[in-house]
Amino acid sequence: MNNNAVVISGAGLWTPENTITNEELVDSYNQYAEKYNLDNAEAITAGSKTEKPLSSAGFIAKASGIKSRFAYRKEGILDINRMRPKLEERPIAELSHQAEMAVNAAKIALSEANKPASDIDAVIVSCAYTQRSYPAIAIEVQNELGIQGFGFDMLVACSAATFALQRAYEMVSAGTAKSVLVINPELTSPQVNYCDRDSHFIFGDVSTATVIERADTANSNHVYEILNTKAVTSYSNNIRSDFGYTSRVDDSDPFADDKLFHQKGRKVFKEVCPMAAEHISSQLESIGIAIGDVKRWWLHQANINMNQLIAKRLLGRDPSPDEAPIVLDRYANTASAGSLIAFNLHHKDLSSGDIGLICSFGAGYSIGSLVIKKH
């Protein structure tokens, strides 16, 4: 490997302790829906309110592949009089929730990279939402870990992790940073509408982190050269969250359904699958790598049927669990972290020279991918 090559030298995954199974979630949602329908019976009959349909654990597992998810805070989510997590506000002298999640994953990634925090000179926190606009969560993390240099936050919904890895790759290639820590503290549960049957099951909380540096400074056990990166975006309203800093002044309800995650799931499925398959095959073709030469596909984890369809389009057959690992049965959709959870849990068995592909796809629409090769 060329000494100037840019590599992934360490990865970290931090998983919250609390799990919520489909059965638990559906049981609480159905109790909530039955109470809502009873309390609003007159309005529902008059047509001014809509009856809440019941959810089903069987539907969720079949339609999405999700069986369980992790929650940073479980309290409140299953309480039918609350239907959202209860997250205590912390004093500013304490580490913020999202910075804590980020630091937890970052410490694991640094240890895997065999690198002290003092060797890092840039921190990117990249995820679907940040807890506040400023100061950046990345700067708080930088301070907590004692890192010199600079940090910034970026948001690209489901592609936040891959897009940030690409920016880190460019910074190290250009020499503007020596070692970059990319962190994805995906605290999705505050934006999930647990009162909506169609989306209450989709998301989970998690945090992932990755160290990017030059090959000549890397000394960890699992080093991956980044051979190529590719990003694309194409505007779509099919996945939206309209909560923002202007929600206070536009005289709308800042907590209305449109201010939470909402989507046209079937449309997303139909439009994104062919886009992602085309994106990946044209990327590999452009660098002369045959589909059959890719040993592992660390794909975005939104829906098992989506992953199987994309892999089948690429391979011309069903992928084996070993080729395209699935983690969403335990983790659900974790916004941008999904493909990196798959990477964290399924990369150490690869041999020198093996090629893999990390790819995310989702809101925006956005697709981001990296082709990597084990050293």
> Which tokens hold the place of 54?
């019941």
The answer to whether the CB of 324 falls within 8 A of the CB of 297 is yes
From 158, 195, 273, 359, active-site residue: 158
Shortest spacing between CB 59 and ligand CO8, in angstroms = 4
Q: Give yes or no for residue 337 binding ligand CO8 (CB under 6 A).
A: no
Residue 269 contacts ligand CO8 per CB under 6 A: yes
- Looking at residue 238, its amino acid is N
The residue among 261 and 297 lying less far from ligand CO8, judged by its C-beta, is: 261
Q: Pick from 85, 319, 356, 362: which binds ligand CO8 (CB under 6 A)?
A: 362
Query: In the chain, what is the straight-line distance between the N-terminal and C-terminal CA atoms, in Å?
Result: 7
* Contact flag: residue 157 with ligand CO8 (CB under 6 A): yes
Q: Which of residues 202-231 bind ligand CO8 (CB under 6 A)?
A: 203
28 forms part of the interface with ligand CO8 (CB under 6 A): no
3-class secondary-structure state, position 132? coil
Applying the rule CB under 6 A, the residues between 101 and 140 that interact with ligand CO8 are 128
How far is the C-alpha of 152 from the C-alpha of 150, rounded, in Å? Answer: 7
> Any idea which residue has 């982190």 for tokens?
209
Which of residues 59, 150, 152, 243 is near ligand CO8 by CB under 6 A? 59
CA-wise closest residue to 32 among 223, 194, 269, 256: 194
Which of these ranges, 32-40, 72-80, 196-204, 220-228, lies near ligand CO8 under the rule CB under 6 A? Answer: 196-204
Rg of the chain on CA atoms, in Å: 21
Cα separation of 44 and 349, whole Å? 56
Is residue 340 a contact residue for ligand CO8 (CB under 6 A)? no
Cα separation, 115 vs 28, whole angstroms: 45
Quote the least distance from Cβ 1 to ligand CO8, whole Å.
34
Q: Assess whether 158 carries a catalytic annotation.
A: yes
For ligand CO8, the closer of residues 212 and 310 by Cβ is 310
Binding window for ligand CO8 (CB under 6 A); candidates: 12-20, 76-84, 192-200, 205-213: 192-200
- Ranked by CB distance to ligand CO8, the top (closest) residue is 362
Q: Which is nearer to ligand CO8, 187 or 372 (CB)?
A: 187
Tell me: does residue 268 bind ligand CO8 (CB under 6 A).
Answer: yes
* Percent of the chain as helix, strand, coil, to the nearest 5: 40, 25, 40
Nearer to ligand CO8, 27 or 198 (CB): 198
Q: Please select the residue that binds ligand CO8; options are 123, 310, 335, 367, rule is CB under 6 A.
A: 335
C-alpha closest to that of 137 among 177, 176, 181, 170: 181
CB of 12 or CB of 85, closer to ligand CO8 = 85
Distance CA 19, CA 116 (A): 32
The window from 136-144, 166-174, 283-291, 302-310 that contacts ligand CO8 (CB under 6 A) reads: 302-310
Closer residue to ligand CO8, CB minimum distance, 67 or 214: 67
Residue 153 structure tokens: 């936050």
- The residue from 28, 30, 55, 96 that contacts ligand CO8 (CB under 6 A) is 55
Question: Binder to ligand CO8 among 56, 114, 143, 173 (CB under 6 A)?
Answer: 56
Task: Tell which residue, 350, 273, 346, has the closest CA to residue 311.
Answer: 273
User: What does the DSSP assignment read for 61-105?
Assistant: HHHH---EEEES--TTTT-TTT-S---PPPPTTSPPHHHHHHHHH
Q: Which long-range contacts (CB under 8 A, 24 or more apart) does 315-322 make?
A: 315/291, 322/296
Q: Which residues are catalytic?
A: 158
List residues binding ligand CO8 (CB under 6 A). 55-56, 59-60, 63-64, 128, 157-158, 188, 191-192, 197-198, 201, 203, 239, 261, 263, 265-266, 268-269, 302-303, 306, 333, 335, 362-363
